[in-house]
Structure 1
Amino acid sequence: MSAPTYDVVAIGNAIVDVLAQSTDAFITEAGMNKGSMALVFSPEEADALYAKMGPGIEASGGSAANTVAGIAALGGKCGFIGQVANDELGQIFAHDIRSVGIDFTTAAREGEPTTARCLIFVTPDGQRTMNTFLGASQFLPETALDREMIAAGAILYLEGYLWDPEEPRAAMRAAIEIARKAGRKVAFTLSDTFCIGRHGGDFRDLMAKGLIDIMFANEAELLALMDTQDFEAAVSAASAQVPTLVVTRGADGAIAVSAGQRVSVGAEPIARVVDTTGAGDLFAAGFLHGQAQGMGLERSLRLGALCAAEIISHYGARAQTDLKALTTQKLG
């Protein structure tokens, strides 16, 4: 088996985020579920919602893309596979991800639909309510996979959000097989409780078959996946099926369980939570980078907490400070 040339190769939605400040009253009036992600099923609906937004900030996003951008900022070598359309937003996404040193080789898709976009409303408490038009991202075919890239990554990282559409779900199953044959690890993030509501059976099947090496969940996702309200019971059941389980708990920090060892860290203190967009994505970035660099569980968790703290201290899901210098200074 050859040595990997990438720390992490991710497959996920290729999305351009549009973030704007909002009020709790607007979230309620618009019928949104605060703090959650909802799908927008037509470009017309996305346009109508976009018209109601205040002044916005555009930035390339997507959960797994945010994670590899964070790893690259930490000094890791990453690749990304995701589908954009041959349009302006697609060009913005491709430029942004390549500009931070990530290899992105997926060919743009011709015709409709347009490149995916996520309309994010941020309330004064920093909570983000997301409305996602998946557009071209949900048409990632197996033929678009860069097989050599996947086989060359120490860790293949998959996002639960992309499991919903049939075509990319088949592509990710094929990617898991490629990674497994190459002797690589597979990491999976559950992404949102709505993903579990629709595909929890698939996720549990992947776990039962030993196809996931590292699983990321927040507390609500873990409880939904294991169909219990008992956190400890959920941790016990999930950790028995995946070699490494990582659970984030917001202000209560995070835990990781691996090979019978359980480690917990507190949330990194910050002056003010500005925007929680990308907090879980960047936590995963820190943890995966730590694991790729051979760090132990506790140090990897701390790195994840530091990355998450940087992200929630400003708008947007991409680091605005020198993440490598910041984390090196604080980790020692």
Structure 2
Amino acid sequence: MRIAAIGDNCIDAYPALQKYFPGGNAVNVAVYLRRYQVESAYVGAVGRDAYGRLLKESLSKQGVDISHLHELDGSTAVTYVELVNNDRQLGDYEEGVLASFTLSEDDLSFIAGYDMVHAGIWGKVEQHFPWFRARGLITSFDFADKLDHPLVEQVLPAIDYPFFSYHQDDAYIRSCMQHAHQQGAKVVVTTLGERGSLAYDGERFYTCGIKQVQVVDSLGAGDSFIAGFLYGVGSGYPIERCLELGTEGAAITIAYFGAW
């Protein structure tokens, strides 16, 4: 399996700790997939600044293909993070050059050469997913906790594996997942924080608990879960094993500072 992660990136800045880490949903998924020796690429844009250089150098060291990571005049996106009892709280977000970034025809041709494409709700690339799916790519999209966001209904018909986050397993989230599947998804997945995860394939719901570890920083947990699950999909594993792989990946990530 070869996967292209596209759209958002940022530097996760912890001002109180004077620490700075490259991140963002698409970037994180591309990096976490390298844990499984999956060939991954990141397509997006950074500014011509120190943060942009940090992000490019870090991705290259992780073995992610950055041949279509563009450098633009302006600043790299930054998310300010605060730790509260080792749980990350996201503060201000400065979008930088991503505010005006669009995929070029060359980018689209490059992505079309992969087996799978992943993006998140912040990536501003959702309009391309019908095109990706029509060309046979497996499509994955992270809607995070934006269950009522207008993009959900807009993008779902083009997504094979939609990911959501929620706080518990209840009738509401199960109804949302059933609706998402009816829109054309193969498997709908929801992470539930400390309550584990949930998947629905149109026939039944699958549940998975968490792996108990010492939490240092929860940043990146959801993205590493997605990477583990997608690795399972690409490997042909059953849904139960895909959930386990996602859980194991998240447990690794929350045991250290920063996303990766």
Please indicate, yes or no, whether the TM-score normalized by the shorter chain is above 0.5.
Answer: yes
Q: CA deviation at 1:98?
A: 1.5
Q: Does 1:306 align with 2:259?
A: no
Corresponding residue of 1:137: 98
Equivalent position amino acid for 2:150 in 1: G
Q: CA deviation at 1:71?
A: 0.4
Identity of aligned residues (%): 23
Corresponding residue of 2:42: 80
Q: CA deviation at 1:237?
A: 2.2
In structure 2, runs of 5+ residues without a counterpart are none
CA distance in 2, matches of 1:202, 1:127: 25
Q: Does the 8 Å contact 1:161/1:191 carry over to 2?
A: no
Q: CA deviation at 1:184?
A: 0.9
Q: CA deviation at 1:140?
A: 1.4
Cα deviation per residue 1:140-194 (whole Å; 9 max; x = unaligned)?
A: 12327622331122111011012xxxxxx3x4413x244223211111101343x
Q: CA deviation at 1:138?
A: 2.2
Q: Does 1:61 align with 2:4?
A: no
CA distance in 1, matches of 2:241, 2:33: 15
Q: Evaluate the alpha carbon distance shift between residue 221 and residue 238 of structure 1 in structure 2; reply closer, same or farther with a 3 A threshold.
A: farther
The equivalences for 1:14-53 within 5 A come to 14-19=9-14, 53=15
Equivalent position amino acid for 1:12 in 2: G
* Candidates 228, 234, 238, aligned match of 2:176: 234
**Alignment coverage as a number of residue pairs:** 258
Corresponding residue of 1:153: 114
Q: Does 1:191 align with 2:137?
A: no
- Please tell me the root mean square deviation across aligned C-alpha atoms, in Å: 2.2
The equivalences for 1:213-292 within 5 A come to 213-219=160-166, 230-241=172-183, 242-270=185-213, 272-292=214-234
Q: Does the 8 Å contact 2:5/2:43 carry over to 1?
A: yes
Corresponding residue of 1:212: 159
Q: Does the 8 Å contact 2:226/2:246 carry over to 1?
A: yes
Query: Of Structure 1 and Structure 2, which has the larger fraction of its residues in strand?
Result: 2
The equivalences for 1:164-175 within 5 A come to 169=124, 171-174=125-128
Cα deviation per residue 1:65-123 (whole Å; 9 max; x = unaligned)?
A: 1111000122111011111112221111111112111111232112x3x1111111011
Q: CA deviation at 1:259?
A: 4.4
CA distance in 2, matches of 1:130, 1:119: 5
TM-score (norm 2): 0.91
Equivalent position amino acid for 1:128 in 2: Q
Equivalent position amino acid for 2:127 in 1: R
Q: Evaluate the alpha carbon distance shift between residue 80 and residue 71 of structure 1 in structure 2; reply closer, same or farther with a 3 A threshold.
A: same
CA distance in 2, matches of 1:261, 1:149: 36
Cα deviation per residue 1:235-281 (whole Å; 9 max; x = unaligned)?
A: 322232222100111111111112424321111111x2221111111
Which entry has the higher C-alpha Rg, 1 or 2?
1
Q: Evaluate the alpha carbon distance shift between residue 144 and residue 222 of structure 1 in structure 2; reply closer, same or farther with a 3 A threshold.
A: farther
CA distance in 2, matches of 1:155, 1:301: 18
In structure 1, runs of 5+ residues without a counterpart are 1-5, 20-52, 163-168, 224-228, 319-332
CA distance in 1, matches of 2:82, 2:133: 39
Q: Does the 8 Å contact 1:121/1:128 carry over to 2?
A: yes
Q: Does the 8 Å contact 1:107/1:144 carry over to 2?
A: no
Q: CA deviation at 1:291?
A: 0.7
Equivalent position amino acid for 1:232 in 2: R
CA distance in 1, matches of 2:218, 2:145: 14
CA distance in 2, matches of 1:248, 1:60: 23
* Candidates 33, 36, 46, aligned match of 1:71: 33
Query: Of Structure 1 and Structure 2, which has the larger fraction of its residues in helix?
Result: 1
Q: CA deviation at 1:54?
A: 2.0
* Candidates 131, 152, 164, aligned match of 1:203: 152
